[in-house]
Structure 1
Amino acid sequence: MLLERIHDEDLSQTSYLIACQASGDALVVDPRRDIQEYLDLAARHGLRITAVTETHLHADFLSGTRELAAATGARAYVPGTGGEDWQYGFEAERLHEGDTITLGNITVTARHTPGHTPEHLSYLVTDGTFADEPGYILTGDFVFSGDVGRPDLLDEAVGMQDTRFAGARQLFASLRDVFLALPDHVQVLPGHGAGSACGKAIGALPSTTVGYERRFAWWGTHLAAGDEQGFVDELLDGQPDAHAYFARMKRLNQQGPDLLGERGAPREVSIDELARGLEDGSLALIDTRSVDEVHGGTVPGALNLPALGKAATHIAWAVDPDTDDAELVVLARDTEQAREYGDHFVRVGVDALIGYTPTLEGLPSAVPSIISPDELHQQIRRSEAVPLDVRTRGEHAAGTVPGAGQLSAGKVLFHQDQLPSPETGRLVTFCQSGVRNSVAASALRRAGHEVTELDGSYTAWSRWTAQQHERAATADDAR
């Protein structure tokens, strides 16, 4: 048996390729939408991708199940569980509790593990060459290293009401009846790692075991004691902000993402064409330089995505394809780098990248509004500035600028009605280091808001306040 882990650091999302090397048949579980990596992996091992499936209706990325099945001729499988409201809207074979997919000597068995979502399936893998019982379980967003999937996303991201409580109780039952019924040696292969918003305490280890989680995971004591309410209370406490784009992912994954097919290479866009497109709104520029470079001057209305490694995450905060039909041009050194940005973008359903420019010379330039911690302090005292913390709720609760509101960077573009009124003062945004803030601020500026960024963000503010306290203490000692 061959089992390969394909991990996307951007969204902290994991796919798996399972194959019987004797028959040459391979199954891909939870593929993302840019599928070339799976095709290359199968070709490298001399395999045929004959089946594609997924664990549930994903909220954080756009599924590549349809895309990969169309490209390879593989049979597509999707969960058929969870009730009428959770059925997929495209053609695929439905899997239910106990259904199997066979790959030569390998048997993959679906187990219904609701909680994170009602339709969620996990997959037990039995390598018939060596054993007659499962040795692995692909848990999707059911069990992670050190954590379990959050059951509140349907409330937080999709707008449903109080489904979190039923979901949490379903998770408790799934852990008790399915997961903990497995032998301790079974290896657990989760769908996300540290950094994903699909859990609140996901560990960085790429895999774990049933026995390790039984003994050391935070939820183990609740399950051992049969303490369902204690489990529910601890699970729901302190979950991170859900990004606004999650609702769009849920909707598109259920109806079936558009097929991309053969994607053409991004073309170089001339400065004249780009200038005309920016002027009439048909084009939008993605400035990929660092925050410091952008603060030295950028094209008015450009979106700042300062890290290729987080391009999917950040573009999902900065562009809403449901309301924005501009085509995208990315600042990149060449076609290959532009293609990398495009790969990240399509993972979250932003398919509008048409080309790149290697330079900004010849385009208009403006310097974004920046304010120092000392200046912000003075303006807050005079009620001239309204600080807005675009970090998560947890970060905000741990310490923030005095009087700051909170609206995470993944929500600001989609909840502009929650922004402070311009009449209340100058809007000053900040995150921890400035990266998330630069993305959020550029998105708000493109949407027509006047935004000032706190130079150095909360890290600089904390350093400045510490210096003020030190000076005050020194002055007291001198007296």
Structure 2
Amino acid sequence: MYFKQFYDQKLSQTSYMVACQKTKEAIIIDPKRVVDEYRETADVEGFKITKATETHIHADFASGLRDASRKFGATLYVSDEGDENWKYQNVPDDTVFLKEGSIINVGNVELKVIHTPGHTPESISFVLTDHGGGSTEPMGMFTGDFIFVGDIGRPDLLEEAANMEGATEEGANAMFDSLKKMKDYPDFMQIWPGHGAGSACGKSLGAVPLSTLGYERKNNWALKVTDRAAFINELTSDQPEPPSYFAQMKKVNKEGLPEFKVRELTAGTPEILPGQLFDLRSKKEFKKGFKKGAINVPYNSKFLQFAGWYINYNEPMTIIANPETSKTLQEDFASIGFDNIQLIVPMDQAEQYSDDNYENISPEIFTKDMSSKNILDVRTNSEYHAGNLESAAHIHFGKLQNADIPFNNEDKIYVHCQSGVRSAIAMSVLKARGFDNIVNIEKGYIGIKEAMK
């Protein structure tokens, strides 16, 4: 048997390839939208990707399931569990629909389906047994968003992202019951999760790429709580805010996306910039001068987790970036379902559009007189509840585009996050909304608390 794990750091998302080395057949599990990496691996190893499947309809990234059919000729295997609201649409005629107990054979490798609802109603997991290696015992389980290292999948995304009232409690109850199905499996069985640390699909995911069921029984809180009410309370409390793009992902992964293809993008400096404007320069460069209305999300490892809050999927996009990154940018945006980049403005030519800037202030100067200042805290709920400035208004940085800001446009507003990264993004959003008299507090709440000592 052949096994490979693929990890997308920008989305904290994991996909897998399993193959039978005797028959040269391969399956990909939870594929991301850009499927080139799977083709490259299969070509190197001499495999043919004949099947593709996924554990559920994902909310945090654009699925590559349908492109696996288009580009590899792979037969798709999808869940037929759950209610009618979350059935796969627009899949090929030869798609196989899976129920509890269904078997996918990849040569001499067996994947047995377990229905593990909780994160979503249709969620399934796959128990792998390597018959080609002579085993009758399961080697491991692809758990998707069911069991993570150190945590389990959140049950509230259908309610938070898809506005399905009552789905959180229903999902939490289902998750409690799903975990009971693990009692008959051995401690040595490996756990291959769909996400790692940094994902918003849970609140305390570990950074280790895999685990064992025995280890999780000893260390994962969810496998130790036996009281249903206590379990539900813990599972539904203090989950991170889901980025706004999650709602779009649930829709497009259910209904399908067009085939992804890299395009030749125009790079230039026209008088009029089409659509929404994202400026990918560093916060240091951006603050010196920028075009008002631009959203500043620096192009780094957390780019997609931040940019996903602000994308309008109904508008084209102009990006201020390095044109040499065109292919990577298209792949990154495609991974959260956006394919409509129209123009790249070279970073070294962005200055000609500048008509605004903003001010930074040190925490030492800020804390000299806070009593009369308008303060806006743009951290997450959990950060805010762990400690805050009593006089500060609180709005999550990702919700600033549409939230009611409790200040007037002409008020002087001091903005902070935890360390100074997200507040810089917030400054661009507030500027775009017409709040011109705003000041960014360097080093954020950490710097403020240090200056107050």
Q: Same fold (TM over 0.5)?
A: yes
- The correspondence for 2:220, drawn from 217, 220, 223, is 217
CA distance in 2, matches of 1:378, 1:419: 25
Q: Cα RMSD between the aligned structures? A: 2.1
Structure 1 position 371, deviation (Å): 4.3
Q: Is 1:364 the equivalent of 2:353?
A: yes
- The correspondence for 1:293, drawn from 258, 277, 285, is 285
Residues 143-152 or 88-97, more deviating: 88-97
Q: Is 1:171 the equivalent of 2:175?
A: yes
Answer whether contact 1:200 1:240 (CA < 8 A) is retained. yes
Q: Is 1:44 the equivalent of 2:44?
A: yes
Residues 4-13 or 291-300, more deviating: 291-300
| Alignment partner, residue 251 of structure 1 | 251
* CA displacement 1:300-338 (0-9 Å, x = unmatched): 33221213322222221222213xx13323311x43x22
Shift in alpha-carbon separation, 1:126–1:453, aligned structure 2, 3 A:
farther
Structure 1 position 409, deviation (Å): 2.4
- The correspondence for 1:184, drawn from 177, 187, 193, is 187
Structure 1 position 453, deviation (Å): 4.2
| Alignment partner, residue 263 of structure 1 | 262
State, as a whole percentage, how many aligned pairs show the same letter.
35
| Alignment partner, residue 202 of structure 2 | 199
SS of 1:157's equivalent? helix
Residues 116-125 or 360-369, more deviating: 360-369
Q: Is 1:461 the equivalent of 2:441?
A: no
* CA displacement 1:122-173 (0-9 Å, x = unmatched): 0111111121232110000000001111111122222222322221111111
CA distance in 2, matches of 1:197, 1:13: 10
CA distance in 2, matches of 1:326, 1:421: 31
Q: Is 1:159 the equivalent of 2:163?
A: yes
Matches within 5 A, 1:34-433: 34-91=34-91, 92-130=95-133, 131-177=135-181, 179-223=182-226, 227-260=227-260, 262-267=261-266, 269-271=267-269, 273=270, 276-278=271-273, 282-322=274-314, 325-332=315-322, 334-335=323-324, 337-358=325-346, 359-360=348-349, 363-372=352-361, 373=363, 376-377=366-367, 381-382=371-372, 385=374, 387-413=375-401, 416-422=402-408, 425-433=411-419
* CA displacement 1:281-314 (0-9 Å, x = unmatched): x244433222122222223332212133222222
**How many residues get paired?**
446
Structure 1 position 49, deviation (Å): 1.1
Shift in alpha-carbon separation, 1:208–1:338, aligned structure 2, 3 A:
same
Unmatched tracts of structure 1, length 5 or more: 467-479
Task: Report the residue type matching 2:377 in the other structure.
Answer: D
SS of 1:422's equivalent? coil
CA distance in 2, matches of 1:215, 1:141: 19
Answer whether contact 2:410 2:437 (CA < 8 A) is retained. no
- The correspondence for 1:442, drawn from 428, 443, 446, is 428
Task: Report the residue type matching 1:147 in the other structure.
Answer: D
Larger helix proportion of the pair:
1
Shift in alpha-carbon separation, 1:81–1:133, aligned structure 2, 3 A:
same
Task: Report the residue type matching 1:189 in the other structure.
Answer: W
Structure 1 position 378, deviation (Å): 6.9
SS of 1:27's equivalent? strand
CA distance in 2, matches of 1:453, 1:106: 59
SS of 2:397's equivalent? coil
Structure 1 position 444, deviation (Å): 4.0
CA distance in 2, matches of 1:71, 1:62: 16
Compute the TM-score of the two structures, normalised by the length of structure 2: 0.92
Task: Report the residue type matching 2:143 in the other structure.
Answer: T
Answer whether contact 1:15 1:31 (CA < 8 A) is retained. yes
Answer whether contact 2:410 2:436 (CA < 8 A) is retained. no
Shift in alpha-carbon separation, 1:265–1:109, aligned structure 2, 3 A:
farther
* CA displacement 1:221-258 (0-9 Å, x = unmatched): 323xxx21221122222211122221111111111123
CA distance in 2, matches of 1:417, 1:309: 27
Shift in alpha-carbon separation, 1:69–1:410, aligned structure 2, 3 A:
farther
CA distance in 1, matches of 2:56, 2:369: 49
Task: Report the residue type matching 1:459 in the other structure.
Answer: I
CA distance in 1, matches of 2:104, 2:243: 34
Structure 1 position 219, deviation (Å): 2.3
Shift in alpha-carbon separation, 1:148–1:424, aligned structure 2, 3 A:
farther
Unmatched tracts of structure 2, length 5 or more: none
Structure 1 position 63, deviation (Å): 1.0
Task: Report the residue type matching 1:236 in the other structure.
Answer: T
CA distance in 1, matches of 2:196, 2:350: 40
Task: Report the residue type matching 2:18 in the other structure.
Answer: I
Shift in alpha-carbon separation, 1:396–1:111, aligned structure 2, 3 A:
same
Structure 1 position 208, deviation (Å): 0.5
CA distance in 2, matches of 1:442, 1:122: 42
SS of 1:356's equivalent? strand
SS of 2:27's equivalent? strand
CA distance in 1, matches of 2:184, 2:352: 63
